[in-house]
């Protein structure tokens, strides 16, 4: 499925704004994403499996607050860098 990445994560994707990754849940998808782009997961998910404070993840335009959110084959996942100024 398609995963849209914000500018601050594109150093991992070779500059691509949209990449492909697979998973039955958001947790699975993020593990697959990290296999494809090593290191990317820890910068958006902390060691307690929480989305980091200034990151938002949307699944089909709905904000995902838990990594257990199920994904469909045609889901679109969007990672956003949110509200960190100065």
**Between residue 11 and residue 40, which ones bind other proteins under the rule CB under 8 A?**
38-39
Asked if residue 8 binds other proteins (CB under 8 A), the reply is: yes
Q: How many residues does the chain have?
A: 86
CA dist., res. 6 & res. 40, Å (int): 12
Site string for other proteins, 46-65 (x = CB under 8 A): xxxxx-x-xx----------
CA dist., res. 78 & res. 28, Å (int): 15
Asked if residue 85 binds other proteins (CB under 8 A), the reply is: yes
Asked if residue 68 binds other proteins (CB under 8 A), the reply is: no
CB 30 within 8 A of CB 67: yes
Helices (H), ranges, 37-77: none
Write out the residues near other proteins by the rule CB under 8 A. 6, 8-9, 38-39, 42-50, 52, 54-55, 81-82, 84-86
């Amino acid at each position: 499925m398609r995963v849209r990445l914000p500018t601050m994560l594109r150093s991992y994707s070779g500059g691509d704004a949209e990449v492909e990754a697979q998973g039955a849940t958001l947790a699975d998808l993020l593990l697959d994403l990290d296999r494809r782009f090593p290191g990317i997961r820890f910068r958006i998910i902390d060691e307690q499996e929480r989305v980091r404070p200034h990151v938002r993840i949307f699944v089909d335009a709905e904000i995902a607050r838990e990594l257990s959110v199920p994904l469909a084959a045609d889901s679109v996942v969007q990672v956003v860098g949110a509200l960190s100024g100065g």
